[in-house]
Amino acid sequence: NAGVTQTPKFQVLKTGQSMTLQCAQDMNHNSMYWYRQDPGMGLRLIYYSASEGTTDKGEVPNGYNVSRLNKREFSLRLESAAPSQTSVYFCASSASGSNQPQHFGDGTRLSIL
Amino acid sequence: KNQVEQSPQSLIILEGKNCTLQCNYTVSPFSNLRWYKQDTGRGPVSLTIMTFSENTKSNGRYTATLDADTKQSSLHITASQLSDSASYICVVSEGGSYIPTFGRGTSLIVHP
């Protein structure tokens, strides 16, 4: 009964380092999402994937890349981390259709020094 | 720019009491409105989803209402429990867009 699994749960990077945040879902959902959550702000969409092989930019895509490896997995990559990317990152998935609930993972807490 | 405003920012109530959280939005055209519960250190969990034609939806002790004319929604929590302590987030989606607009959330603390 895993739902959406994110790894790692915590990470500290130095400015300029790169890393990939992993996300996997076991609910056979077509749609997957990456969000960031910053103090005092609502969640903001970074990238969206409607199905395997497709990705679209969200509200704040700069500095990030994504890969929809297969139906289960959707990864987020920071090529050259910056302190402004310190945040909590959430992955979510949903069935197709605009009125489907999104199921969220428990987040990756990323600090960039 | 689409906006979702939630009030109050924080709320403290005693266990067993009822409370109502508010959400006002400017998103147009409207597609749907969702309420999520987010426990500290966890991801959000969906409580309700309402479309334009729905003006109330319940999930156990949680009841959401929607007035699409005034662009307002409320989440009513009945007979609060300690486990209701969390942040409650209102999210509004625009028709034709996959980018939702999230409110900043209302932080609810339930004291015994």
pLDDT per residue as tens digits for the range B57-101:
999 999 999 999 999 999 999 999 999 999 999 999 998 888 899
Report the pLDDT value the prediction gives residue B2, as an integer from 0 to 100: 85
Total Cβ atoms within 10 A of residue B7? 12
Cα distance between residue B13 and residue B29, in whole Å: 35
In chain A, which residues have pLDDT < 70?
A: 1
Tell me if chain B has a CB within 8 Å of the CB of A4.
Answer: yes
Please report residues of B whose CB lies closer than 8 A to that of A41: 104
Report the pLDDT value the prediction gives residue A89, as an integer from 0 to 100: 98
% pLDDT > 90, chain B: 88
With a cut of 90, say whether residue B9 has pLDDT above it: yes
Beta carbons of B93 and A90 less than 8 Å apart = no
Beta carbons of A98 and B45 less than 8 Å apart = no
Q: Give A47-72 pLDDT, tens digit per residue.
A: 999 999 899 999 999 999 999 989 99
Cα distance between residue A49 and residue A33, in whole Å: 6
Joined together, the tokens standing for residue B6 give 């939630």
Tell me if chain A has a CB within 8 Å of the CB of B2.
Answer: no
Report the pLDDT value the prediction gives residue A1, as an integer from 0 to 100: 63
Report the pLDDT value the prediction gives residue A98, as an integer from 0 to 100: 77
Cα distance between residue A25 and residue A34, in whole Å: 13
Nearest to B4 by CA among B74, B112, B91, B98: B91
Report the pLDDT value the prediction gives residue A112, as an integer from 0 to 100: 97
With a cut of 90, say whether residue B43 has pLDDT above it: yes
Report the pLDDT value the prediction gives residue B81, as an integer from 0 to 100: 97
